[in-house]
Chains A and B, each alone.
Chain A
Amino acid sequence: MTTVEERPHTGFGRTLRKEDVRLVRGKGNYVDDVRLPGMLHGALLRSPYAHAKINSIDTSAAEAHPKVLAVITGETLKGLGLAWMPTLSYDVQAVLATDKVRYQGQEVAFVIAEDHYSARDAVELIEVDYEPLPVVADAKKAMDADAPVIRDDKEGQTNNHIFDWESGDQAETDAVFANAEVVVAEDILYPRVHPAPLETCGSVADMDPVTGKLTLYTTSQAPHAHRTVYALVAGLPEHKIRVIAPDIGGGFGNKVGIYPGYVMSIVGSIVTGKPVKWVEDRAEHLMSTAFARDYHMRGEIAATKDGKILGLRVKVLADHGAFNATAQPTKFPAGFFHVFTGSYDLQAAHCTVTGVYTNKAPGGVAYACSFRITEAVYLVERMVDVLAYELKADPAELRMKNLIQPEQFPYTTKTGWEYDSGDYPKALQLAMDMAGYDELRKEQAEKRERGELMGIGVAFFTEAVGAGPRKHMDILGLGMADGAELRIHPTGKAVLRISVKTQGQGHETTFAQIVGNELGLPTADIDVVHGDTDQTPFGLGTYGSRSTPVSGAATALVARKIRDKARIVASAMLEVSPDDLEWEGNRWQVKGDPEQGKTIQEIAMAAHSSLELPEGVEGHLDATTVYNPPNLTYPFGAYICVVDVDKGTGGVKVRRFIAVDDCGVRINPMIVEGQVHGGLADGVGMALMQVIAFDEEGNHLGASFMDYLLPTSLECPSWELGETVTPSPHHPIGAKGVGESATVGSPCAVVNAVLDAIKPYGVRHADMPLTPAAVWGAMNGRPIRTDLAIP
């Protein structure tokens, strides 16, 4: 049997993935695959109301179920001091509701039974006496004087306000707007969506009553951060907690936060003295775990008559749901939204963001958004098209005219970001060439003559990823630096331990390639250990496209430490001075005498041998490091989408999608391409189908895949990819990260294409998702509010 791994390969380039060997055989190990002796099963009772007072809970019938071992309510937790837990945004969230429920699907009670089916049966036997309260389902009404106060649990909270935040210079921006020849404004909604990884969330908690050690198998993108939070919530000593994130069936930001179900599996294991598994069903997943977006934005753009963009002004109303549980750096309550100036050279920019509570599930930064850059890019790219509409300008030309020029890098934006490197016009030109832009416009003109609707959408994005420099960025007080440990065994095989955690991105392969590139070791000889807090160094996890920019850098640097140490060992072996050696591929050799050299494998054996090493040099060949990024990295790209719209139904067919990405140096181009493909499908989904809508009573209208539509193979075209490579100057290998680029950049390309198609109907803007009904409504002058089922 020939598998890829046996094909010789070293360093960067296309090579098949190590993880596939088990995954194509059905031998992965996901949380729901974990079986422990004596394991019990938990299930949650959830609230049917979006806002209601809990008068009483009767668990007697559930407790009488022959297979039930325990039923836990908020009252039980209160006694243990566990009814509330901290969120990643310094708010608190109910583990199980005590006083009242604040969104539909909120956790109310937990049943532990011998098997999964019985646990579910018993949940149905619990009787709760609810007293329904008025509901805030629309963020725009959250600050009304008569709005019910959702968070009356918080002392001093008299309304639904969470925060006000701003960025940029308001006075400077107002001055630019006051003097501008053209000012255009638009209300733009980025509706609530849900990442919906194919694997739902779950955990298996195993508290050893003898040693007091808790092992938690869980769907976590950030195992180390989770361990620290559990130590804080449960008061368990941190060294007695081991968090294991096994194979994860997709995360996309949904598995960054901590959910009540995880905590309940821990409590359940403590209470019963047995391992307890909790795995949610799809409805629970869509109703209660981290959503994304829900940004109500008003954008204003100022320009000259001939299309030079001068400034941007944005006001955002951010719906954070019932608990402020967004996962983002502490100083930035709106994430990195202030990257909304996008890829353009502006004179001024200012934004304000107001966060409010509503009777909806918590979350907010999830779904491959790079900390709200998705919202920011959508805003600016929509606004540029709105401007193009008013100026009757070509949207590609208008962008070309305003892009930051290559010689302006490093470029400091009006909101304080320092873009590291880029050649934006080159990327846009390449996308236009690949698309055959002029031909497409000709075709469109001909079709318009015939009354057919074809649209061409352009979007350009700049991301800020790889959070982040620890002096600016922490989550819940934990700085965003990542550790790495590398050990070379005597025979020259290596084990790398990293803090980040793959959910499908292929870390086991990519990170081995980084080591291979630095040390000349074959990819097959390097094992990557991750997703186990007892076995890996501390770090903040995989989200915000930070694995390659942060842990990738840590990996390259720890390998370089090994190389430096290997030099000293080689010098002892060769009896020359270290200064007389040079590195060549996989060996240290004597300058001017390349015959004299030692490979990394020979050096590894010698480092473990009785060879005498210079004073102060320890034996063995291992090293550790912590990487604190000096800046973020700034990947970018140019996307063009071509759609055909059915005049009669408003149905949209995505005909082509051209994506040019620049993520700096590509470690494994095959994996990069896969990351882009997935993100493009997300963009089509969000632009055309996906929305988590609510009715006025706060009923969740997207709790299954029948109602929350995801793109299938038929909605997705065959993606056409291109690349430019502008290395990051401050990253050890010049890589920038790519995991979220396409999710950030693609929704607007699709939306711009659809609106371009229906331009003859005088439509300047319509909100996502552009379902046939929404498109048809827009064409007929009846735009609809897509996030609320209110006529």
Chain B
Amino acid sequence: MEVTINLNGTPETHEVEPRLLLVHFIREKAGLRGTHWGCDTSNCGTCVVWLDGKPVKSCTVLAAMADGRSVRTVEGLEQGGQLDPVQEGFMECHGLQCGFCTPGMLMTARALLDDNPDPTETEIREAISGQLCRCTGYENIVRSVRWAAEKEQGGPVTESETPAEVTA
């Protein structure tokens, strides 16, 4: 069957098997490899993209179900050569290590901030709780999202400071 998906603003039309997962459409057919795959059971969230503006796990959506709809991926975050504040925040606050969970985390973070520009730590933790990160222990992901929120709120964010560590 033929499927057309508006991917980061560009229509992508491909002949696909009806069973093709959206994550594979994005990676294999459209060739955008920023969106990852990490589990068989919709638990890890490394595949999170936006479908019509809402974050979804793209391993749990068929490409056919996204026909005629729009999808935004991590490659669609940077606009006009300018990183999205969540991308900057993850760099500033060491919100990533291996980077495998990062695209999914970024998409969820962007959606959260669009919805709730000034989230608390608990709200951030809840927003990303359907996704796994094996490297960061989540702490710096939370800080990264807060950094982005503050930047967007017009806070005086230039360079992040690691919260003071106690030294003996």
Give A residues with C-beta under 8 Å from B: 1, 3-4, 7, 14, 16-17, 19-21, 23-30, 32-33, 35, 116-117, 195-200, 247-250, 252, 281-283, 426-427, 429-430, 434, 503-506, 660, 669-671, 673-675, 677-681, 704-706, 710, 712-714, 716, 718-719, 721-725
A710 surroundings in chain B (CB, below 8 A): 132, 134
* 29 A-B residue pairs with CB within 8 Å: A1-B81, A20-B91, A20-B99, A23-B96, A24-B87, A25-B77, A25-B87, A26-B32, A30-B33, A195-B134, A198-B46, A198-B98, A199-B38, A247-B98, A248-B98, A249-B36, A504-B97, A673-B94, A674-B97, A674-B136, A678-B134, A680-B137, A704-B39, A704-B43, A712-B131, A713-B126, A718-B139, A723-B167, A724-B167
B46 surroundings in chain A (CB, below 8 A): 198
Name which of B50-58, B63-71, B101-109, B111-119 contacts chain A.
B101-109
Give Cα distance in the complex from A33 to B126, angstroms. Answer: 30
Return B95 CB to nearest CB of chain A, in Å.
9
B36 surroundings in chain A (CB, below 8 A): 30, 32, 198-199, 249
| B22 in the interface (beta carbon within 8 A) | no
Q: Are B38 and A26 closer than 8 Å at their CB atoms?
A: no
- Given contacts A198-B38, A282-B41, 4 further A-B pairs with CB under 8 A are A117-B19, A198-B36, A249-B36, A724-B168
Q: Are B134 and A705 closer than 8 Å at their CB atoms?
A: no
Q: Give the 6 A-B CB pairs with smallest separation, nearest first.
A: A26-B34, A504-B98, A249-B100, A23-B99, A677-B137, A504-B97
Q: Which of B94, B102, B139 contacts A719 (CB 8 A)?
A: B139
Q: How many residues of B contact A (CB 8 A)?
A: 67
Q: Which of B90, B97, B121, B167 contacts A678 (CB 8 A)?
A: B97
Return A179 CB to nearest CB of chain B, in Å.
38
Give Cα distance in the complex from A669 to B160, angstroms. Answer: 13
A718 surroundings in chain B (CB, below 8 A): 121, 139, 142
A724 surroundings in chain B (CB, below 8 A): 167-168
Return A665 CB to nearest CB of chain B, in Å.
13
Q: Are A716 and B137 closer than 8 Å at their CB atoms?
A: yes
Return B10 CB to nearest CB of chain A, in Å.
15
Give Cα distance in the complex from A206 to B85, angstroms. Answer: 40
B106 surroundings in chain A (CB, below 8 A): 24
| B2 in the interface (beta carbon within 8 A) | no
B20 surroundings in chain A (CB, below 8 A): 117
SS of B interface (majority):
loop
Q: Are B165 and A721 closer than 8 Å at their CB atoms?
A: yes
Give Cα distance in the complex from A208 to B31, angstroms. Answer: 25
Q: Which of B83, B94, B103, B167 contacts A17 (CB 8 A)?
A: B94
Nearest to B163 among chain A residues (CB) is A721
Give Cα distance in the complex from A250 to B99, angstroms. Answer: 8
Q: Are B92 and A677 closer than 8 Å at their CB atoms?
A: no
Give Cα distance in the complex from A650 to B125, angstroms. Answer: 23
Return B41 CB to nearest CB of chain A, in Å.
5
Give Cα distance in the complex from A3 to B87, angstroms. Answer: 11
Contact with A along B27-48 (1 / 0, CB 8 A): 1100111111111110110100
Give Cα distance in the complex from A7 to B99, angstroms. Answer: 22
Give Cα distance in the complex from A744 to B132, angstroms. Answer: 21
A677 surroundings in chain B (CB, below 8 A): 136-140
**Of B82, B99, B102, B136, which is in contact with the most chain A CB atoms at under 10 Å from its CB?**
B99
Q: Are B100 and A30 closer than 8 Å at their CB atoms?
A: yes
Nearest to B31 among chain A residues (CB) is A35
A282 surroundings in chain B (CB, below 8 A): 38-41, 44
Nearest to A675 among chain B residues (CB) is B97
Q: Are B132 and A674 closer than 8 Å at their CB atoms?
A: no
Q: Are A249 and B139 closer than 8 Å at their CB atoms?
A: no
Q: Which of A14, A33, A503, A713 contacts B141 (CB 8 A)?
A: A713
| B129 in the interface (beta carbon within 8 A) | yes
Give Cα distance in the complex from A505 to B97, angstroms. Answer: 6
Nearest to A195 among chain B residues (CB) is B134
Give Cα distance in the complex from A414 to B33, angstroms. Answer: 53
Q: Are B135 and A678 closer than 8 Å at their CB atoms?
A: yes
A24-B96, A117-B17, A198-B101 in contact; A434/B136 too (CB < 8 A)? no
Q: Are A19 and B99 closer than 8 Å at their CB atoms?
A: yes
Q: Are B168 and A427 closer than 8 Å at their CB atoms?
A: yes
**Of B44, B46, B91, B135, which is in contact with the most chain A CB atoms at under 10 Å from its CB?**
B135
Give Cα distance in the complex from A158 to B82, angstroms. Answer: 67
A17-B94, A427-B168, A722-B168 in contact; A713/B134 too (CB < 8 A)? no
Nearest to B43 among chain A residues (CB) is A705
Nearest to B82 among chain A residues (CB) is A1
Give Cα distance in the complex from A26 to B99, angstroms. Answer: 9
Q: Are A716 and B139 closer than 8 Å at their CB atoms?
A: yes
Nearest to A710 among chain B residues (CB) is B132
B75 surroundings in chain A (CB, below 8 A): 25-26
Return A686 CB to nearest CB of chain B, in Å.
13
Return B100 CB to nearest CB of chain A, in Å.
3
Q: Are B39 and A705 closer than 8 Å at their CB atoms?
A: yes
A430-B168, A713-B142 in contact; A24/B102 too (CB < 8 A)? yes
Give Cα distance in the complex from A39 to B96, angstroms. Answer: 31
| B128 in the interface (beta carbon within 8 A) | yes
A427 surroundings in chain B (CB, below 8 A): 168
Q: Which of A24, A117, A670, A681 contacts B138 (CB 8 A)?
A: A681
Q: Are B103 and A26 closer than 8 Å at their CB atoms?
A: yes
Q: Are A250 and B135 closer than 8 Å at their CB atoms?
A: yes
Return B13 CB to nearest CB of chain A, in Å.
19
Nearest to B99 among chain A residues (CB) is A23
Q: Are A200 and B38 closer than 8 Å at their CB atoms?
A: yes
Return B35 CB to nearest CB of chain A, in Å.
7
B130 surroundings in chain A (CB, below 8 A): 712
B121 surroundings in chain A (CB, below 8 A): 718
A24-B106, A26-B35 in contact; A706/B136 too (CB < 8 A)? no
Q: Are A33 and B125 closer than 8 Å at their CB atoms?
A: no
Return A597 CB to nearest CB of chain B, in Å.
31
Give Cα distance in the complex from A249 to B141, angstroms. Answer: 16
